[in-house]
């Protein structure tokens, strides 16, 4: 890890100077990232497109903190302290003083590129980190939307963010070694996560392995090979997975699975990556999994 000289001569990790985080998007992943960072003591600004999305995102985050209170992981006073570290805004201009920004909006390349272009204009720190939590869009494309592609890197979290230890660090061809090391230091030293590195290839390491498996489960259901509960119970009881592939797809969100599958297919042209018709129709129908109340399983209750 590269170090920065302090005035008194001691060396400090650049990660220790990253105290102000911006999170763009307060959906499933953005709210989890903001929660983890605020619990780790960072000053966190969260941005959503409008007041209603902001309010829904804030409620999601508060519900997750309340779950921690109920489970005895934090006191009510600690929850309030964590909430005090969070600022909710609809303005991207509020991100001017951020040290690190993590974009976590829906998987739409144009929207993400516009966000990176806007951030490039407002963030003033010369060595700020511009990160994306994308699971399907090349980091290179997001870097090229800015004038500082050497500072753009993938920082890919896993759902539920407060629970899963892993973060994938994904440099593009133009990301500098300083940015990669600083991002890794930020994620491990400030957020307490474990990292692996991946090249900027569709799916990175984990989704490139996981998504074909999830798609295979959808095809198995679609073809009438086995029922949803049997497929899920098979992998939980037979292979000690914490949840079966259809329930996991519901947790991740079927729209996200479809986006990752399309990006894998576009990159590698392997039939096993192509999203099966059942998945496409469910997304069209708004059956997105747990977040919409229904996917392969029902969550209405």
CA distances from 55 to 104, 107, 240, 299 (A): 17, 21, 37, 22
Q: Which one is catalytic: 103, 107, 150, 168?
A: 168
Would residue 207 show up in a list of annotated catalytic residues for this protein?
Answer: yes
- 209 lines the binding site for ligand 3HC (CB under 6 A): no
- 207 lines the binding site for ligand 3HC (CB under 6 A): yes
- 63 lines the binding site for ligand 3HC (CB under 6 A): no
- 12 lines the binding site for ligand 3HC (CB under 6 A): no
What whole-number distance in Å separates Cα of residue 176 and Cα of residue 159? 28
CB 148 within 8 A of CB 120: yes
Straight-line distance from the first to the last Cα atom of the chain, in angstroms, rounded to the nearest whole number:
48
> Closest approach of Cβ 29 to ligand 3HC, in Å?
8
Q: Which one is catalytic: 35, 107, 156, 172?
A: 156
According to CB under 6 A, which one of 36, 45, 152, 252 is a site residue for ligand 3HC?
Answer: 252
CB-nearer residue toward ligand 3HC: 128 or 260: 260
- Nearest CA-CA partner of 232 in 180, 297, 287: 297
What whole-number distance in Å separates Cα of residue 129 and Cα of residue 18? 9
**Binding window for ligand 3HC (CB under 6 A); candidates: 77-85, 162-170, 187-195, 226-234:** 162-170
- 248 lines the binding site for ligand 3HC (CB under 6 A): yes
Would residue 298 show up in a list of annotated catalytic residues for this protein?
Answer: no
Would residue 135 show up in a list of annotated catalytic residues for this protein?
Answer: yes
Distance of CA 101 to the CA centre of its chain: 12
DSSP state of 151: G
Stated length of the chain: 301
- 279 lines the binding site for ligand 3HC (CB under 6 A): no
CA angle 199, 200, 201 (to 5 degrees): 95
**Binding window for ligand 3HC (CB under 6 A); candidates: 11-19, 121-129, 157-165, 181-189:** 157-165
Q: Which two tokens stand for residue 135?
A: 């699971």
Active-site residue numbers? Answer: 135, 156, 168, 207
Binding site for ligand 3HC (CB under 6 A): 64, 67, 71, 135, 158-160, 162-164, 207, 210, 242-243, 248, 252, 256
């Amino acid at each position: 890890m590269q170090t920065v000289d302090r005035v008194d001569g001691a060396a400090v990790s650049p990660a220790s100077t990253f105290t102000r985080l911006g999170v763009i998007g307060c959906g499933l992943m953005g709210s989890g990232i903001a929660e983890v960072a605020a619990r780790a003591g960072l000053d966190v600004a969260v941005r959503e497109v409008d007041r209603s999305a902001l309010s829904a995102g804030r409620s999601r985050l508060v519900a997750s903190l309340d779950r921690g209170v109920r489970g005895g992981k934090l006191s009510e006073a600690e929850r309030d302290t964590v909430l005090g570290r969070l600022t909710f805004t609809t303005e991207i201009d509020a991100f001017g003083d951020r040290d690190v920004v993590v974009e976590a909006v829906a998987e739409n390349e144009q929207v993400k590129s516009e966000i990176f272009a806007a951030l490039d204009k407002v963030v003033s720190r010369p060595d700020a980190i511009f990160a994306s939590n994308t699971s399907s869009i090349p980091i290179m494309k997001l870097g090229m939307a800015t004038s500082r592609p050497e500072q753009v890197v993938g920082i890919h979290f896993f759902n539920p963010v407060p629970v899963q230890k892993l973060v994938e660090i994904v440099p593009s061809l133009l990301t500098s070694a300083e940015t990669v090391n600083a991002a890794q230091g930020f994620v491990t030293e400030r957020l307490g996560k474990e990292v692996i590195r991946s090249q900027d290839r569709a799916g990175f390491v984990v989704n490139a392995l996981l998504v074909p498996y999830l798609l295979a489960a959808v095809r198995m259901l679609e073809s009438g090979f086995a029922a949803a509960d049997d497929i899920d119970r098979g992998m939980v009881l037979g292979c000690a997975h914490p949840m079966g592939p259809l329930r996991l797809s519901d947790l991740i969100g079927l729209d996200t699975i479809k986006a990752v599958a399309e990006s894998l297919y576009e990159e590698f042209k392997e039939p096993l990556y192509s999203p099966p018709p059942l998945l496409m129709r469910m997304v069209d129908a708004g059956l997105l999994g747990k977040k919409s109340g229904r996917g392969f399983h029902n969550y209405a209750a």
